[in-house]
Structure 1
C-alpha cells in the first residue's frame, strides 16, 4: 500500500499566505507545532482566541503586525510576542511588501490538519470569498473543532453549543473523515 507524502508547504489564496510546517505535532511528540508563515500584503486573519493552547509569533522578515488582547503591536525581525490561551489575537500585514514570521503552537493540538483542510477548501473554492469560512456548515464545524478557535464577540457557550452540535452531526455523516482523507492523508 502506498502513501502519498503531504507537502510541507501549503498556500491559501484568500488569506494570502503560505505556511511551511517546520515541526509537526508528530515530530515533537505532541509538545508543539512550529510553522513558517509568508504573508502577502493585505493578508491576515480575524480576531479570535483559543482556550487550550498558546501561539508565539516571531518576526523573521519585514514587520509583523499583531493585535493581542486589544493592544496593537509591530514586531521587527527577532522580536516576538505570545498570545496565551484565552487571549484574543490576530496577525496582519498592512504594508506593501510580503513578510515572514514563525509561529509556535504549544501544546500541539490539531493545528496542522485544521490548516490543511482550511487551505484545501479555499483552494477548491468551497469557502465564502470575503471571510474564508466554509460554505458548508458541517465543514465549518469540523474546522472550529480541530482549530479550537473561537470568534470574538460571540459568547463561548453559544459557539460550543452550535458548533459542538454541528460537529457531532459532521462526524456521524462522515464529513470529518472525508475532509481528513481528502486534505490530510
Structure 2
C-alpha cells in the first residue's frame, strides 16, 4: 500500500473514534503495525480473538479498559497489557472523556486494511447505524477474513466455514478488490 496517498489518521463518524497509523506494515516490513486510538466515551469493541497475531495495548491518556479472558483491567498512562493469539478480549471506554491508547499488532498481517475498510464503510454510510456492521454480508466476510477475527461462543471451524464460503464468493464477485481499491489505495 503506498502510504504517501493515504491519510495517517482515519475517523469512524458512527462511534467518533480516531486511529492514527504511527508505523504501518509497509514501514516495518510486515513485522508489526503500531496505531494510536482515540476512543470516545461509550466506544469499544465486542469480545473477540485472533489466532495469528498479538495485540499489545498501552494507555496514553485516561484509563483504558480491557477485558482479557474474563479479567477486567484498567490501564493508566504508561501501563500495558497483551492479548496473545487465542485470548478472548475487548477494549472499551465506560467513562465520560475520550481516552487514548496505543496498540502494537505483531506480526502486522492485514490490520491496517481492515481498519481502513471498516472506517471507510462507516464514513460512507454502508453500515448498520447501531451496530456498525456492514450492510453487505459479503463486505462483512472480507473484513472477517482480512482481520482474522473470531467471535466468542461460535466454534472457529463454523466461523471459518461460513465466513470462508462468503469470502470466496466476495472474492469472485470482486468485492475484496473493490474495497481495497476504494479504501486502501
TM-score (norm 2): 0.97
Do residues 32 (structure 1) and 23 (structure 2) align? no
SS at match of 1:66: strand
The number of residues matched between the two structures is 183
Look up the match of 1:184: 184
Name stretches of at least 5 consecutive residues in structure 1 with no aligned partner: none
Show the 5 A alignment for 1:87-106.
87-106=87-106
By how many angstroms is 1:131 displaced? Answer: 1.5
Do residues 113 (structure 1) and 95 (structure 2) align? no
Asked if 2 retains the 8 angstrom alpha-carbon contact of 1:15 and 1:45, the reply is no
Look up the match of 1:139: 139
Q: Deviations over 1:118-161 (max 9, x none)?
A: 00001111111122111101100000011100111111111000
Q: Deviations over 1:6-33 (max 9, x none)?
A: 1000001233310000000010001000
Look up the match of 1:74: 74
Look up the match of 1:155: 155
TM-score (norm 1): 0.97
Residues of 2 paired with 1:39 and 1:52: CA distance? 25
By how many angstroms is 1:4 displaced? Answer: 7.0
Look up the match of 1:53: 53
Asked if 2 retains the 8 angstrom alpha-carbon contact of 1:16 and 1:44, the reply is no
- Coordinate RMSD, CA, aligned: 1.1
By how many angstroms is 1:68 displaced? Answer: 0.4
SS at match of 1:26: helix
SS at match of 2:55: strand
Q: Deviations over 1:23-64 (max 9, x none)?
A: 000100010000000011111111000000000000000000
| 4+ residue runs over 3 A deviation | none
Do residues 125 (structure 1) and 129 (structure 2) align? no
